[in-house]
Structure 1
């Protein structure tokens, strides 16, 4: 399990941690899961502005205001509970010879717009195949 602090970043790149986890594994599938109702995982390009564009897009789609029925926490916290409907809480990646088979520009990232809980757990599991 990974413990992740999202207090300073909305997008956290988990690619290196996933590679480390898979390094000693045979061929199979690596599943990455976030057991939280307000966070998700995505495969995106990072470092070239796409990560910031992704956050900006999500914040436009999920404005932080009083429109949500789920109304506890910080203003607009209901948007955080809608996020996993758009950004899945799990991703499965094929692995060959201990290497996740990600595309050239793909990174696996944790997406967390929730300002109320900056501590996240990420569970990694593996199925040989």
Structure 2
């Protein structure tokens, strides 16, 4: 299968000339998905990003990041249901210091991950048509979450 270029600029190689890091604070409303796509795109515009990669990393053990469908909200509802079935509350977990949703939140984070890396070309993320970047809050109550954004590449 031949490879096709996704680069939107002429050079075939990119010299990394910048590493830019920013901290994004996200206020969640409790369990569920928060779309961060526009905030990451804004970070890239502010950075002057052209070619490279953007990394997002959530600094918590009971929230995670994912790339998922952004067209049909029922997808996010079903994913929430699936995660709850995989790590139910009140399942006899030893770790329940912060309540019955604490240990299940840690398991859900382990399953879904804390870091994403997205290629950037022509100043834009190379996400698919129906893809969006989401912070997943796994705890029942609202939290203030921190997401580190880092662009490495050419400006």
Q: TM-score higher than 0.5 here?
A: yes
Report the Cα distance in structure 1 between the residues aligned to 2:91 and 2:128, rounded to whole angstroms.
Answer: 39
Name the residue aligned to 2:53.
29
Name the residue aligned to 2:119.
94
Pick the aligned partner of 1:5 from 5, 23, 27. Answer: 27
Answer yes or no: is 1:55 the counterpart of 2:80. yes
What value does the CA root-mean-square deviation take over the aligned residues? 1.5
Ranges in structure 2 where 5+ consecutive residues have no aligned partner: 1-22
TM-score, with structure 2 as normaliser: 0.77
Name the residue aligned to 2:40.
18
Residues 68, 76 of structure 1: 8 Å contact kept: no
Residues 3, 122 of structure 1: 8 Å contact kept: yes
Residues 66, 76 of structure 1: 8 Å contact kept: no
Answer yes or no: is 1:120 the counterpart of 2:142. no
Report the Cα distance in structure 2 between the residues aligned to 1:112 and 1:47, rounded to whole angstroms.
Answer: 20
Larger Rg: 2
Q: Deviations over 1:90-111 (max 9, x none)?
A: 0000000110000000000001
Describe how 1:72-83 pairs up with structure 2 within 5 A.
72-83=97-108
Pick the aligned partner of 2:66 from 21, 24, 42. Answer: 42
Report the Cα distance in structure 1 between the residues aligned to 2:128 and 2:31, rounded to whole angstroms.
Answer: 24
Q: Deviations over 1:65-116 (max 9, x none)?
A: 1421212112232111112210110000000011000000000000111135
Residues 37, 132 of structure 2: 8 Å contact kept: yes
Count residues with an aligned counterpart.
Answer: 129
Residues 52, 119 of structure 2: 8 Å contact kept: yes
Residues 30, 125 of structure 1: 8 Å contact kept: yes
Pick the aligned partner of 2:94 from 69, 76, 80. Answer: 69
Query: Which contiguous aligned blocks of 4+ residues in structure 1 show a shift greater than 6 angstroms?
Result: none
